[in-house]
Every structure is written in structure tokens, then in C-alpha cells.
Amino acid sequence: ELSEFSLPETERSNPLTTDIDRSPDPAGLLHQVDQLLLADLRQQAVLLDVQLDRLAGVMADTVASDGVVVLSGCGTSGRLATLCCAVANRQLRLRQLPAAFRPCLAGGRSAFAASVEPAEDAAGEGVAELLALLGNKDKSSKSLLVGVSCGLSAPFVLGQVGLCLGRPDLGAYPALIGFNQVGDVRADRVDGLPWPGGCRAVAKRLAEADNVDRGLLINPSIGAEAIAGSSRMKGGTATLILLFHAVGRMLANLEPSADHSVARGWLSISEHLDLLDRLLESVKEGGAVLNDWMAHFGDSVGVNGDGVVYAFDNALSSAMAAIDASECPPTFGASAGDVRAIGDSHVEEFLAAIPLVARDAAMVAKEAETLAEPVNTEKAVATDAIGFALTSPTLRLDIPARVSRSVALRLPSNQLSAIVYNADLTLDLSWLPNDPLWLDYAGVIATKLTLNRLSTGGFVRAGKTFGNRMVCLQPSNSKLADRAARLVASAAGVGLTEARAALTRFGEPPAGQMSSKTVSPVAGAVLLLRRPELSVSEARQLLADCGGRLSDLLVT
């Protein structure tokens, strides 16, 4: 039987949320988990201050030398890194400094607004894309790679780190952000990585390079996720905290004579976390509203649901909405139509910064088709009414929704109109420092927390978890295949070998039926193991009859 303590920290089940699928207050439980994230980071503040000061120093030196800062990642990590690049470059332009930040997102532009999970395994593609971004830079300029991988186990990113470690002639300083210990990183052999021992070998070599300041590994402990393995939540929030803090300190380094009194929080991680504590409380005040919205969301993505749409009139909020929507298919087995994001056309600024990956013309055309949905506010959402829409209160879109709600952020720079005060949920952040970077960052964090809670709670309400295990995930790459086996083993009380055998026995959903209304192989494997008298066809039929709600058939 698989022990929770044998799992990497990012994959463990959180005891706080064991019964989240039966809780009357899922928003409150998710708030507690976020509070613990800040508490865990605060306990490591001394080390984080040293590490982030080093990272900010390398960033500042790279910008000053007219070099390139590459932020790289897969899935949620890569999307958040892309968003951070856009904000960092905007701040640099405000200071008449070169826009040095370059995003490197596994899967290219299409992966910003849609799940392209198999790209995470492509170590060779990651190396090729990094080399293209570094280009023929001047020998006097510096380069910096900041890879983000919550589990330190994405071959796309670790291949890039390995390249920088093995090729000092490139002049690219490697840094890696993640949230597992090196000894817990997957050690299976991966094509395209430079050393035997897979991702763990690369992480270990980076830790050794860190000791002599030839690289940097930042891997604080952040505890278990609210939904086991769903690193889009705490892992994503911690990623934003660390990246934006490094950018804030970089800007302070580049302007040593400037008055930073309004930008407090960037010079000390403890002060930063104090401000985030207060931001969390602002989001918590909307807990009752969010619980109500979760019910509407769950109905809209359930068996008879008509889908959910996010629509915002702010570029950063629109980008976060696209990110949240893109995370739902791999996490909850949602189809592309279950949760969609449309929004401000300025989201194209983020997408334009992502290099088109080397694919054939047909794939590029497919990317363009994928991107049309989240960035075009003029495009019709649907011919029939959708189930639930969440919008900005000032946005005038003809969205035929059965239930429509609005959310607004009150920031220090806002001149709020009456209609904003009439939003169904207003998050009051007017007390924040009136600093351009803080305003961008706070808007991103507040939007992320709100949408993550809404979509997580909504899919929990729709029965897409078993306790706090995401039994409807789609195992579309090696990381998710490993996670699927661990989830089955944990939920069924068996070992990994038996779990993998059950997944193989149950098989994949029929072709063309990969959606939130489809029976998941993870749920099916758990049911077969917990009720061995059932055949595969009987298990599939039982799950289909109850809309995939494993908790209707088993006790957690």
C-alpha cells in the first residue's frame, strides 16, 4: 500500500481538505490552505531573502548588460512565467530600460490558452527553443534562465537547466524554482536530458552549482495542495510570489537612488507576505458569495450543464481567466467548451511575446484557431444560453447566460464608478502601496485566487473529485500518468503496480469523448479496485449513470 509520506510533497493529500466534496464551505477550506502557504513561506523567509536577492542581482546585471532573461515553464508554471515577463517588460519600459524578459512556454502560443500537456516531456524542444532565444547575443552581455517546475520534474525545463550547466560557453546563468526536495524528484531516464538519473540528476547538479554561485535552486517547502497534486493552486501562487518579488527587487537594484517607500514589500519577503495576508483576507470576505457561485459553476459543468464563461475588460485579469480555463481539462477532465475565457484584446500582447515553436503550417493554423476564443471579445460565445458567466461589471457583452455575476477589484489607482460598486463581488485592495508593479501584481494574485477557488469548488460540486483527489484528470504526459497511478493507489489502498494494472485494464474513454461528462480512467480504476466484483463494462456504466461522481458509488 502506498504511504502518503513516500510521495513528493506536491503530490500528497492535504488533511484539511479530505472531505472538501462534502463540505458546506469549500471556499473557507481553500482559504485556510492559502493561509498555510504564506505561513510556510514566512518560516523560510531568511533563506528566501538571500536567494531572491541573488536572483534579483543576476536579473539586474543581465538587464544592465543588454542581455536576455528567459522565464521558462510548462502548463501553469509557463503561463504564469509568460504573464510575469509581460509585466516585467512593461515596468522596464516605464524606466526607459530594455525589455529584457523573454517567455519560453512548452507548447508555444497555443499552450497559453489551452492545455498542451505532452509538450512538457519534450526535453529536446526545450533545449532548441532556449538556444533560439539566446541567439547570437553580444559576448559582453549576460543571459539568465529562470526555469519554473513545481515538482522539479518537467523535462522541457530541466533539459534547459542541464544545457546551461553543461555549456558554460553559452554564458547563461541557470536558476530553477520548484517546491519539492531534490531527493523526491523523479529519477527515471528521460530522452534529451544530459545525464542518467533524469530530472533528479539535473536538480542535484544545480544544487551543487548553487554552492559555488554557478547556479541557483529555489525550492521552498509549501505543503500539500488543497486538491492532491493540483499544483496550479499553491504552486502557482508561490510561483507568482517568488517571480514578482525577484522582479521588484531587480527594479530596486536598477534604481538605487530612487525612493522605494511606496514599494514596500519588494525589499523583504516578510513584508511582502504581510501584504498578501491582508489581500487574502479581502478575498476571504467574499467566501459566502463564492460558495454560492461554486454551486452555479458545478451545475454548469455537470452532466446536463451548458458551460461557464469568464469575460473581463482588463488585460491581466483576462490573461488569468484564460490560464484558469486552460487548467480545467488536465485537472478535472473538462472539455474545451466547459470553461472558456474571452476578454480584452490586449491579451494578445502576452501571446505575441511567445515565440512560435518550430512546427508545420497546419499546427500554426491550429494554434491561431485555438487562440481566437480567449482574446476576441467580438466573437459569439454560443448560440444557446450558457450556464454561468463571470464578468467585469463594466463589460457590455451579449452573453446569453442563465446565471451571470460580476467581480471587481478596487485598487489604489481606481476611480470607481457607481457600476463597479454595484458588482456582485468587490475585492477592496485600495490599501495596497500605490506602486505600478504592486498594482499589476495584486490584480493578478487576487484574480487568480478568486478564479482558482471558483473553478476548483465548482468542479468539486460537480463530482469531479473523490474527497480531495482529482480522479477525473487526463493522464496526457508522463508526469500526469505517474500522478494518475499515485491517485489510484492512494484512493484504493493498493501499491503502484496494482494501480497501474487497473488503469490499463479500465482503458481510455472512447475516442472523441474526452470531456467532463466522460468516465475517467482514474475513477474507473479506483472503482474496479474497491469493488472487484465489477467488470470493466459494469464499472463504466455505473460511472456513466452517475455522471462520473465516484463519491456516489464509494465512501471516501
Q: Which string of DSSP letters, residue by residue, matches 263-310?
A: GTTSS-HHHHHHHHHHHHHHHHTTHHHHHHHHHHHHHHHSTT---EEE
Report how far Cα 168 is from the mean position of its chain's Cα atoms: 31
Q: Is the pLDDT of residue 420 over 70?
A: no
| Residue 306: per-residue pLDDT | 85
Contact 150, 77 (CB under 8 A): yes
Under the banding of pLDDT at 50, 70 and 90, the label for residue 372 is: very low
Q: Both 214 and 285 in a single domain?
A: no
Q: What is the spatial distance between Cα 322 and Cα 371, in angstroms, rounded to a whole number?
A: 10
Looking at per-residue pLDDT, the higher value among 503 and 357 belongs to: 503
Within 8 A by CB and 6+ apart from 381, the residues are 309, 340, 342, 397, 399, 400
Q: What is the rounded average pLDDT of the residues 194-208?
A: 93
Tell me, yes or no, whether 354 lies in a domain: yes
Query: Side chain identity at 372, as an amino acid letter?
Result: A
Q: Is the pLDDT of residue 27 over 90?
A: yes
Within 8 A by CB and 6+ apart from 153, the residues are 180, 185, 186, 199, 479
| Residue 382: per-residue pLDDT | 45
Q: Minimum mean pLDDT among 118-132, 160-174, 294-308: which range?
A: 294-308
Q: Is the pLDDT of residue 283 over 90?
A: yes
CB atoms within 10 A of CB 511: 6
| Residue 413: per-residue pLDDT | 65
Looking at per-residue pLDDT, the higher value among 356 and 422 belongs to: 422
Q: Both 526 and 455 in a single domain?
A: no
Tell me, yes or no, whether 272 lies in a domain: no
Q: What is the spatial distance between Cα 172 and Cα 72, in angstroms, rounded to a whole number?
A: 13
| Residue 556: per-residue pLDDT | 65
Q: Both 456 and 488 in a single domain?
A: no
Under the banding of pLDDT at 50, 70 and 90, the label for residue 45 is: very high
Q: In the chain, what is the greatest distance between 2 CA atoms, to the nearest angstrom? A: 74
Q: What is the spatial distance between Cα 553 and Cα 542, in angstroms, rounded to a whole number?
A: 8
Which element (helix H / strand E) includes 440?
Answer: helix 436-461
Q: How many helices (H) and strands (E) does the chain have?
A: 19, 10
Q: Both 319 and 423 in a single domain?
A: yes
Tell me, yes or no, whether 153 lies in a domain: yes
Contact 550, 526 (CB under 8 A): yes
| Residue 365: per-residue pLDDT | 40
| Residue 481: per-residue pLDDT | 87
Q: Is the pLDDT of residue 149 over 60?
A: yes
Count the domains in the chain.
3
- Here the CATH number for the domain that contains residue 387 is 3.40.50
Highest mean pLDDT among 241-250, 347-356, 367-376: 241-250
Counting Cβ atoms within 10 Å, is residue 369 exposed (0-12), middle (13-18) or buried (19+)?
A: exposed
Within 8 A by CB and 6+ apart from 177, the residues are 146, 147, 148, 149, 218, 219, 239, 242, 243
DSSP-derived 3-state class of residue 208: helix
Which of 258, 289, 307 is at the close of a domain?
258
Tell me, yes or no, whether 425 lies in a domain: yes
| Residue 514: per-residue pLDDT | 44
Contact 180, 221 (CB under 8 A): no
Q: What is the spatial distance between Cα 241 and Cα 427, in angstroms, rounded to a whole number?
A: 19
> Which bin fits 66, alpha (ψ -120 to 50), beta or left (φ > 0)?
left
Q: What is the spatial distance between Cα 513 and Cα 441, in angstroms, rounded to a whole number?
A: 38
Q: What is the spatial distance between Cα 308 and Cα 451, in angstroms, rounded to a whole number?
A: 12
Q: Both 414 and 441 in a single domain?
A: yes
Q: Both 160 and 227 in a single domain?
A: yes
Task: Calculate the dihedral angle through the C-alpha atoms of 152, 153, 157, 159, rounding to the nearest 10 degrees.
Answer: 120
Tell me, yes or no, whether 6 lies in a domain: no
Tell me, yes or no, whether 37 lies in a domain: no
Q: What is the spatial distance between Cα 196 and Cα 199, in angstroms, rounded to a whole number?
A: 9
Q: What is the spatial distance between Cα 440 and Cα 444, in angstroms, rounded to a whole number?
A: 6
Which of 440, 461, 482 is at the close of a domain?
461
| Residue 483: per-residue pLDDT | 87
| Residue 435: per-residue pLDDT | 85
Q: Both 206 and 353 in a single domain?
A: no
Per residue in 181-190, pLDDT (tens digit) is: 999 998 888 8
Pairing of strands 339-343, 172-177: unpaired
Which element (helix H / strand E) includes 144?
Answer: strand 143-148
**Phi, psi (deg, nearest 5) at residue 131:** -60, -40
Pairing of strands 401-410, 386-391: parallel
| Residue 229: per-residue pLDDT | 83
Q: Both 405 and 449 in a single domain?
A: yes
Tell me, yes or no, whether 230 lies in a domain: yes
DSSP E strands in 421-512: the ranges are: 425-428
Tell me, yes or no, whether 526 lies in a domain: yes
| Residue 432: per-residue pLDDT | 87
Q: Is the pLDDT of residue 343 over 70?
A: no
Domain that holds residue 397: 281-461
| Residue 351: per-residue pLDDT | 65
| Residue 290: per-residue pLDDT | 96
| Residue 139: per-residue pLDDT | 59
- Here the CATH number for the domain that contains residue 91 is 3.40.50.10490
Query: Which pTM was predicted?
Result: 0.91
Q: Is the pLDDT of residue 396 over 80?
A: no
Contact 414, 430 (CB under 8 A): yes
Report how far Cα 519 is from the mean position of its chain's Cα atoms: 25
Q: Grid coordinates standing for 6?
A: 513516500
- Here the CATH number for the domain that contains residue 481 is 1.10.8.1080
| Residue 370: per-residue pLDDT | 40
Q: Both 327 and 453 in a single domain?
A: yes
Q: What is the rounded average pLDDT of the residues 9-27?
A: 93
Q: Grid coordinates standing for 381?
A: 460565445
Helix axes 269-284, 45-64, angle to 10 degrees: 110
Instruction: Give the whole-number percent of the chain exceeding pLDDT 70.
Output: 84
Q: What is the rounded average pLDDT of the residues 528-556?
A: 88
Q: How far apart are the first and last CA of the chain?
A: 16
Q: Both 352 and 402 in a single domain?
A: yes
Which of 461, 491, 526 is at the close of a domain?
461
Q: Both 456 and 471 in a single domain?
A: no
Q: Minimum mean pLDDT among 8-22, 182-196, 414-428, 489-503: which range?
A: 414-428
Under the banding of pLDDT at 50, 70 and 90, the label for residue 140 is: low
Q: Grid coordinates standing for 330?
A: 488536465
Q: Both 108 and 158 in a single domain?
A: yes
Mean of all residue pLDDT scores within the chain = 85
Q: What is the rounded average pLDDT of the residues 235-258?
A: 91
